[in-house]
Structure 1
Amino acid sequence: MRWDPSRYAAFADDRGRPFHDLVAQVAWSADTREAPRRVVDLGCGPGALTATLAARWRSSRVVGIDSSAEMLASAGADPALADLPNLSFELGAIEDWTPGPTDDVVVTNAALQWVPSHVALLPRWLDAMPSGSWFAMQVPGNFGSPSHALMRSIGASGPWAPALDGVLRSDPVLDPAGYLGIMLDAGFVARAWETTYAQLLPGEDPVLDWVRGTGLRPALAALDAADPSGALTAEYVDRYRAALREAYQASAHGTVYPFRRVFAVGRKP
């Protein structure tokens, strides 16, 4: 399943807001170190947000890790990122990553929902992190919203249903209390919360455009594989588009898309 960096970046400001709200809660302090030794961004995407970490902690080594070669190629081609000598990127799957002894800050933004095993991985990661370190995570919590519920219900009720069977998950993340419990059990001093952003999106089919860059990708990939002609994909998307227009009514100002996000941040004593 390939990522399209340009499509993902189409709503860069809206996608970036939760990241900035997340990392603002990382109040780095340590008795013996003025800055984190190493900062890791798990699921860094095209790297623009990772660059803000490198700019914040200029004496730290900042590493963005992503499983998409397309995303990392986009990061490597961005001249703005070349001005940050402490920033680098690595190709790798999140589920294969293990914290190192100098990983003082780990951030993962809108990535863990793609890793079915992340709930089991979190305790192991937290246990391996060094004393005084911070772990900050954010995942979308809108899988019950019309945009995603319609994606699944329409996917289960047409000629495309066999191709989409098991592709779209309804419960890939926990609620804030679930992640808070994991952090507390690991001995972290932690907080968790949720925020629903009322995002004002422009265009004729903005919600469809939004999910094409993220949540709809697995369905499109499965449909394209089942019918390379594209006819099955087009039929499904047309049905889904009509349902989204009904669910998200446009106003004179644009289309409001309520987007719930789940956050958890903790420090290891």
Structure 2
Amino acid sequence: MTTNPSWDPTQYLRHAGHRARPFADLLARVPALPGAPPRIADLGCGPGNVTTVLTDRWPTARVTGYDNSPQMLADAQAYAGPHLDFAYADLTTWTPDETYDLLVSNAALHWVPGHLEAFPAWLDGLAPGGTLAFQVPHNIDAPLHALMRELGNTPRWKPRLGDVLRPEDSVHAPGVYLDHLARLGCATDVWTTTYHHVLQGEDPVLDWVKGTGLRPALDALADDPEAQGAFVTEYRDLLREAYPSHAYGTVLPFRRLFAVATKEAR
């Protein structure tokens, strides 16, 4: 599995409104933070557009957005200000080097193998009463991903793509997160929501996935534009059948998993 694909902020932001909504839904369940002012980290901040929501919610907070993509961080710098900065971090190895009141992650942890094992150290970096909150896609079995994996495992593509696409265990079942975080002493709330995004334009589901899940395949075939184009065309045709277009647009059902874990206050 490719854990650090190249990212195209412009492509990613083409569906910014749909992608930002789950972050707002996640933050709506975050309780009051213990710090005054709070210290917040956005883990996997991407291009920074939703990180700014944190400064709207907690105007006095000091917020740092962390990401491992130079492209994303370059775009995020446009949002930097007195209370908001951005820095490089690899979430596969990152641990807090100061005390935070909120660690939040929006659609990033599915790119971090073994992220369950990171939670104890992250929680150690939280102030008493602080919160770890995250959301991740929970739709690895949806046609969007299943068709990509099936195509990537055909004889033509498996030699180049068989090991780079997101595996089916990149996100755990809701109960796994609940049990893990509760055993670590947190008051934990876990839930799932399925959004039915109505997308516009030609091949909008392909356009959506070009900004996220298709990135590893695009990277793996980047040195062979003809092969890359052929794979994208085959995948596009499968998506057209799985997600038919209607007069009002194309519906993309998208299930997400949310977790809010609050550390015991002393």
Instruction: Name the TM tier (shorter chain).
Output: over 0.9
Hey, what does 2:178 align to over in structure 1? Answer: 180
2:233 is the counterpart of 1:249: no
Pick one of 10, 13, 27 that aligns with 1:9: 13
Aligned amino acid, residue 40 of structure 1: A
> Scaled by the length of structure 1, what TM-score is found?
0.93
Aligned amino acid, residue 188 of structure 1: C
Tell me if the contact between 1:46 and 1:72 (Cα under 8 Å) persists in the aligned partners. Answer: yes
Hey, what does 2:114 align to over in structure 1? Answer: 117
Tell me if the contact between 1:127 and 1:186 (Cα under 8 Å) persists in the aligned partners. Answer: no
3-state SS of 2:50 partner: helix
3-state SS of 2:118 partner: helix
3-state SS of 1:47 partner: coil
Shift of 1:245: 0.4
3-state SS of 1:245 partner: helix
Query: 2: distance between equivalents of 1:229 and 1:174?
Result: 34
Shift of 1:172: 0.3
Q: Let me know the Cα RMSD of the aligned residues.
A: 1.3
Q: What are the ranges of 5 or more consecutive residues in structure 2 without an aligned counterpart?
A: none
Query: 2: distance between equivalents of 1:175 and 1:39?
Result: 27
3-state SS of 1:85 partner: coil
| Identity, % of aligned positions | 48
2:22 is the counterpart of 1:18: yes
Shift of 1:56: 2.1
2:100 is the counterpart of 1:103: yes
Shift of 1:239: 0.9
Query: 2: distance between equivalents of 1:191 and 1:214?
Result: 26
Aligned pairs for 1:46-195 (under 5 A) are 46-76=47-77, 78=78, 81-82=79-80, 84-168=81-165, 169-195=167-193
Q: What are the ranges of 5 or more consecutive residues in structure 1 without an aligned counterpart?
A: none
Shift of 1:57: 1.7
Query: 1: distance between equivalents of 2:27 and 2:162?
Result: 37
Hey, what does 2:214 align to over in structure 1? Answer: 216
- With a CA cutoff of 8 Å and minimum separation of 6, indicate the structure with the bigger relative contact order: 2
Q: Deviations over 1:26-63 (max 9, x none)?
A: 11143xx4442x10000000111111112222222100
Q: Deviations over 1:43-93 (max 9, x none)?
A: 0001111111122222221000000111111111x3xx24x4100000111
Pick one of 214, 217, 226 that aligns with 1:231: 226
3-state SS of 1:172 partner: coil
Hey, what does 1:41 align to over in structure 2? Answer: 42
Query: 2: distance between equivalents of 1:155 and 1:264?
Result: 31
3-state SS of 1:195 partner: strand
3-state SS of 2:221 partner: helix
Which structure 1 residue ranges, 4+ long, deviate > 6 Å from structure 2?
Answer: none
Query: 2: distance between equivalents of 1:230 and 1:184?
Result: 48
Q: Cα–Cα, structure 1 residues 19 and 62, in superposed 2: closer, same or farther, change >3 Å?
A: same
Shift of 1:126: 1.9
3-state SS of 2:47 partner: coil
Aligned amino acid, residue 191 of structure 1: D
Aligned pairs for 1:21-32 (under 5 A) are 21-30=25-34
Count of matched residue positions in the alignment of Structure 1 and Structure 2: 259
Query: 1: distance between equivalents of 2:41 and 2:151?
Result: 38
Aligned amino acid, residue 190 of structure 2: A
Shift of 1:97: 1.5
Shift of 1:101: 4.3
3-state SS of 1:150 partner: helix
Aligned amino acid, residue 160 of structure 2: A
3-state SS of 1:265 partner: strand
